[in-house]
A and B are shown apart, each in its own frame.
Chain A
Amino acid sequence: MNFDFSDDQKMLKDQARKFLTEKCSTKVVRKILEGDEPYDKALWKQIAEMGWLGTAIPEEYGGLGLGHLELCVIAEELGRVVAPVPFASSAYLATEALLIAGSDAQKKKYLPKLASGEWIGTFAIAEGPQPPSPKTLKASLKGGKLDGTKSPVPDGDVADFAVVLAKTAEGQGERTLSLAIVDLKGSGVSRRTVKTVDPSRSQAELSFKGATAEALGPAGDGWDLAKRVLDRAAVLMAFEQVGGADACLVMAKDYALNRYAFGRTIASFQAIKHKLADMYVMNELARSNAYFGAWALSTNASDLPEAAAGARISATDAFHNASKENIQTHGGMGFTWELDCHLYYRRSKMLSLALGASRVWKDRLVNHLEKKNVA
């Protein structure tokens, strides 16, 4: 039994934590939250220089060729500091889409630029406030030209290219969808930054009018490939969520220990102790589920869809609970703009929606359990 990260991976994690503690204080996050800049460019540049963006990209495509376990430990630390950079869009979504569906030429074209941070990539699925599905999606791709609207697209306002899920055939079946890569700086593309509950990360509406698109993966495979990309991203994002949830627990604990009411530290009241104990329990369950996701992702296990769903549901639950109860522990102060609690509350909700809501993942998880039982 070796259900833990290696010493090297732990060392990488320590380095990432040290670096981000220094370079990504909540002051840095607030600059993006409160300002007009879509992400912190200085931080992004340094992250790229350290090679983090290419952690799971093979060396032949300009990456570090380390692997997904290494990417997981970095993700946890990025989540801990609610980093205001397009890491998830580029390093989880666009990169994973290219890794699993790209031709060798596409990998050669895109991956080195993703690894170096020269290009930002993203993944465009949603079309407004409802779950995307073969029944509801409308953006259509015909003869290499894309028409339609995708919204919200994470980092859509700054990305250089997007992997887009679009209709390539009539009907509502799963085989009517395909993936395609679109150059967002090309003609026929307009973008508009949208307002979100977490302005520390930007999102946009992308409108396509005859934009040039190149197919990614076989036609008709889009829905299946999108689910596979989401599974892989879900594991990585679960680590971000676990990192964020842990940060909330630390904040709540530190505040409770130093806040005095009724003549004693509020950390000595059972109402607070039990709240924090519950937070700890949920965070640990989430961490363990995320570890299993990491194992499945790094070994390409057939259990990956189930492991990813478990990691995502558990981490979403833990971060949601920790971020809201952190505010509650802070009392009135927690509701102020000045305190940092809301940065985590915002990020927690944003991450919980980014790859689809828990409701959808729970349904998918039970699908896998049913299949497993039949098999």
Chain B
Amino acid sequence: MDFNDTAQEAAFRAEVRSWLEANAKPKTAVGFSAENPRFQRNEQEALKIAKAWQAKKAEKRYARITWPKENGGLGGTPMQQVVYNQEESKFDVPSGFFEIGLGMCIPTVTHYASKDVAARYVKPALYGEEIWCQLFSEPSAGSDVAGLRTRAEKDGDDWIINGQKIWTSGAHYSDYGILLTRTDPNVPKHKGLTMFYLSMKAPGVEVRPIKQMSGGANFNEVFFTNVRIPDAQRLGNVGDGWSVALTTLMHERLAVGGGQGGSGADINELLSLARETELEDGPAIRNASVRERIAEWYVRGQGLKYTTYRTLTALSQGRVPGPEASIAKVVVAPKMQDLASFAMDLEDMGGVMTGEDSPMMGAFQQSFMWAPGLRIAGGTDEILKNIIAERVLGLPADIRVDKDIPYNKLPTGR
């Protein structure tokens, strides 16, 4: 056992690091303070900076390490991607705007579209010139996304789209999207779906930000009113949309080794809060019940970190990672919620304050308000536990009462 790079990994790490040093600035330790530029930039500025950085990365073929060279990638291994991510995370560079497009949408397009079509879209996406979003979830189709309602109806060589999507990250700055629709309501739900891609600037597409309970607006609703899409923008066969969507989601799962979960206030912030906070019997860090909670969360966090190490070991040895990689989010999200709530309790009556009146610029208060979303986004805690139970432990799938019933005969509730 050791935590060292192989010779090849070390060489690649050195190469990546020297490029990053020449092209970016190392992160400074401002953390959760007003000096952190992340709290100051607006989205437009952040997007501009991100696009410029993406172009630089793409030029060096670092934008997508594992993609083949003909698609602008480096033709590298998943482990090289991890090494790059690890090194990049030490630098103050933008992230986040292109993950959905490059991680999920473009792989789906290259898989199902013709070579010429794919060639048209791959490079601009890679260079950050065009941003993609994923239009799957609907107000009445979240965990059960195959129950979606957005209709696509054939009209000559075109399709006419009507309906609504929700929780679409980045729709408001996206240029294109991949869109899952219902083309046949007379067959069971999984069988009547078809996938398309479309321009988000097409007439009839309207994007509205959703104001979240946390106050921010990271997601959108997208409305489609008689939007016309040529049949040439169909991905996969009519009625095969579900298997196309599974391809997309499979690529999502392959995108391992990215971030280490949440970027919110975590155990280190709790430790410093406990050091600074005076309780009735002395500093919180000396209080037995506080220490016990700190130890519990620390051990859970370390357990996840070392689980990642096990995954990376598999990648480094050219093996497929084991199922233990699937536990991360179901640990991170509830932990964030509980830890933030506990930290606010330590601040006692003052814990209600947030922003600059609060320790660490209200980092715990922000995590507290963000955590409910994290427990839902990208698979709810409950769906993730189903996935572990079914795919890892081999337990039976839930009994599906809607399996053989035509979509338009399903009970829909309100």
Does B71 interact with chain A (Cβ within 8 Å)? no
Contact A1 B4 (CB under 8 A): yes
Contact A362 B399 (CB under 8 A): no
Which of B5, B330, B331, B396 makes the CB contact (< 8 A) with A267? B396
Chain B residue at minimum C-beta to C-beta distance from A296: B1
Does A286 interact with chain B (Cβ within 8 Å)? yes
What separation, in Å, do the CA atoms of A286 and B303 have in the docked complex? Answer: 7
Contact A264 B392 (CB under 8 A): no
What count of chain B residues pass the 8 Å CB interface test?
A: 50
Contact B313 A3 (CB under 8 A): yes
Q: Which of B323-375 contact A (CB under 8 A)?
A: 324, 327, 330-331
Chain A residue at minimum C-beta to C-beta distance from B304: A285
Which of B294, B307, B395 makes the CB contact (< 8 A) with A273? B395
Which of B292, B307, B327, B388 makes the CB contact (< 8 A) with A362? B292
Does B172 interact with chain A (Cβ within 8 Å)? no
Total contacts A-B at CB 8 Å: 156
Does A295 interact with chain B (Cβ within 8 Å)? yes
Contact B389 A274 (CB under 8 A): yes
Q: Which of A108-128 contact B (CB under 8 A)?
A: none
Chain B residue at minimum C-beta to C-beta distance from A314: B299
Does A298 interact with chain B (Cβ within 8 Å)? yes
Interface string of A222-251 (1 = CB under 8 A from B): 000000000000000000000000000100
Which of B1, B306, B324, B396 makes the CB contact (< 8 A) with A5? B1
Contact A270 B306 (CB under 8 A): no
Q: Report B-chain residues with C-beta under 8 Å of the C-beta of A299.
A: 1
Contact B292 A4 (CB under 8 A): no
Surface stretch bound by B, among A153-161, A192-200, A275-283: A275-283
What separation, in Å, do the CA atoms of A134 and B106 have in the docked complex? Answer: 65
Does B244 interact with chain A (Cβ within 8 Å)? no
Contact A366 B307 (CB under 8 A): no
Q: Report A-chain residues with C-beta under 8 Å of the C-beta of B291.
A: 362-363, 366
Q: Which of A125-139 contact B (CB under 8 A)?
A: none
Q: Report B-chain residues with C-beta under 8 Å of the C-beta of A298.
A: 1
Q: Report B-chain residues with C-beta under 8 Å of the C-beta of A253.
A: 393-395
- Which of A1, A273, A294 is packed against the most chain B CB atoms within 10 Å? A1
Chain B residue at minimum C-beta to C-beta distance from A372: B271
Interface string of B396-414 (1 = CB under 8 A from A): 1111000000000000000
Does B386 interact with chain A (Cβ within 8 Å)? yes
Smallest distance from the beta carbon of A16 to chain B beta carbons, Å? 19
Contact A285 B307 (CB under 8 A): yes
Does B15 interact with chain A (Cβ within 8 Å)? no
Contact A365-B313, Cβ < 8 Å, known A276-B395, A277-B385: no
The 9 A-B pairs of least Cβ separation, nearest first, read A285-B303, A362-B295, A273-B389, A288-B306, A277-B385, A3-B309, A277-B388, A268-B396, A288-B307
Chain A residues with CB under 8 Å of chain B are 1-5, 69, 249, 253, 256-257, 264-265, 267-268, 270, 272-274, 276-278, 280-281, 284-289, 291-292, 294-295, 298-299, 309-310, 313-314, 317, 359, 361-363, 365-366, 369-370, 373
Chain B residues with CB under 8 Å of chain A are 1-5, 9, 271, 275, 285, 288, 291-292, 294-296, 298-300, 302-307, 309-310, 312-314, 316-317, 324, 327, 330-331, 382, 384-386, 388-390, 392-399
